[in-house]
Amino acid sequence: MSDPKSETRNAAALNVEGVRFHYGAKPALQDVAFTIPAGTFTVLLGPNGAGKTTLFSLIARLYHATQGTLAVAGHDLRRAPLSALAEMGIVFQQPTLDLDLSVLQNLRYHAALRGMGKKDALERIDAELRRFNMFERKHEKVRTLNGGHRRRVEIARALLHQPRLLLLDEPTIGLDVPTRKAIVDHVHNLCKTDGIAVLWATHLIDEISPSDRIVLLDAGRVRAKGAIADILKEADATTIAEAFTKLTAKENAA
Average pLDDT over residues 139-167: 95
Could you state, in order of their start, the residue ranges of all structural domains in the chain?
Answer: 4-87+165-253, 97-162
Res. 250 pLDDT band, cuts 50 70 90: low
Write down the pTM of the prediction: 0.89
**pLDDT tens-digit readout, 2-52:** 454 444 556 799 999 999 999 988 899 999 999 999 999 999 999 888 999
Average pLDDT over residues 100-128: 95
Instruction: Enumerate helices (H) and strands (E) in the chain, giving the number of each.
Output: 9, 10
**Beta strands 197-202 and 26-36, pairing class:** unpaired
- Percent of the chain, pLDDT > 70? 94
Res. 162 pLDDT band, cuts 50 70 90: very high
**pLDDT tens-digit readout, 46-69:** 988 899 999 999 999 999 988 999
Instruction: Give Cα separations from 123 to 60, 161, 219 (angstroms).
Output: 26, 11, 43
Assigned architecture for domain 4-87+165-253: 3-Layer(aba) Sandwich (3.40)
115 burial level (CB within 10 Å; 0-12, 13-18, 19+)? exposed
Report the SS3 class of residue 21.
strand
Average pLDDT over residues 69-87: 95
Do residues 85 and 163 lie in contact, with contact meaning Cβ atoms separated by under 8 Å?
no
Phi, psi for 34 (deg, rounded to 5): -170, 165
